[in-house]
């Protein structure tokens, strides 16, 4: 590949990341906070993304924990249940079989969306859902938007989200035999932009598992 072609390729497509995710053997509560040891890196700054979000994840046999802290906001949250993909929040892509060489999602691939608001009579309650992946060969049989637990504390210039995705929501979840997950995330804010693990919105990360990376479940 010539140097001129390489220079046009997003830098994050030149690498595949394997990110450790540590075990956390406690039950989820609305006030659960993971320590700095559970923080995930974000390589979107290679593409000049603003690094405004602190993303932390953990696992145990029952599922995945998520803490998200977004800071530096000057505007109010913008979340709409009718405009999910344009709303503030975080999107997670998880492949329980870590298949890195296919361009169409399999029944083991999942797309989760968690918003700090957008639900309730005043549109101020957090919400979580699962989206169907475009061009997927097959939807996961565990498709159920109602199983994710999420809580949020929102302040004037920041918000904190705490969530749990149970293993029963992820087809193929088996921490005894499969400790490597295909994985990517995108924190999206209409004011602050995108912050991603790797490739950003310039690539079809919402439907192409070959663009995802690896989350390694470690003890």
Q: What domains appear along the chain, each with residue ranges and CATH number?
A: 37-218 (2.60.40.1190)
Bridge partners (DSSP) of residue 161 are 68, 152
152-192 confidence digits (pLDDT tens): 999 989 999 999 999 999 999 999 999 999 999 999 999 99
Give the pTM. 0.91
Q: What does the mean pLDDT of the chain come to?
A: 91
pLDDT range class, residue 42, cuts 50, 70, 90: confident
Q: Are 37 and 22 in contact (CB under 8 A)?
A: yes
pLDDT(32) > 60: yes
In this prediction, residue 135 carries a pLDDT of 96
Percentage of residues of the chain with pLDDT beyond 90: 81
Residue 43 has a CB neighbour count (10 Å cut-off) of 19
- pLDDT of 122 reads 86
**Do the Cβ atoms of 69 and 158 come closer than 8 Å?**
yes
Residue 116 has φ and ψ, to the nearest 5°, of -75, -10
Tokens of 139: 């939807």
pLDDT per position as a tens digit, 82-99: 999 999 999 999 999 999
pLDDT tens digits, 53-62: 999 999 999 9
């Amino acid at each position: 590949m010539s140097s001129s072609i390489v220079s046009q390729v997003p830098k994050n497509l030149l690498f595949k990341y394997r990110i450790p995710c540590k075990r956390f053997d406690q039950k989820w509560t609305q006030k659960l906070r993971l320590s700095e040891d559970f923080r995930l890196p974000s390589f979107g700054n290679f593409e000049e993304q603003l690094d405004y979000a602190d993303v932390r994840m953990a696992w145990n046999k029952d599922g995945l924990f998520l803490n998200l802290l977004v800071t530096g906001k000057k505007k109010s949250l913008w979340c709409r249940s009718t405009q999910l993909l344009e709303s503030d929040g975080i999107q997670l892509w998880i492949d329980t079989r870590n298949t890195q060489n296919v361009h169409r999602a399999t029944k083991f691939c999942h797309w989760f969306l968690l918003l700090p608001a957008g639900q309730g009579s005043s549109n101020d309650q957090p919400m979580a859902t699962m989206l169907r992946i475009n061009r997927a060969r097959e939807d996961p049989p565990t498709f159920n938007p109602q199983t994710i637990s999420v809580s949020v504390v929102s302040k004037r210039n920041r918000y904190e989200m705490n969530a749990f995705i149970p293993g029963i929501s992820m087809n193929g979840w088996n921490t005894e035999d499969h400790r490597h997950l295909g994985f990517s995330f995108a924190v999206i804010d209409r004011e602050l932009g995108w912050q991603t693990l790797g490739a950003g919105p310039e690539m079809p990360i919402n439907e192409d598992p070959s663009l995802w990376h690896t989350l390694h479940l470690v003890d």
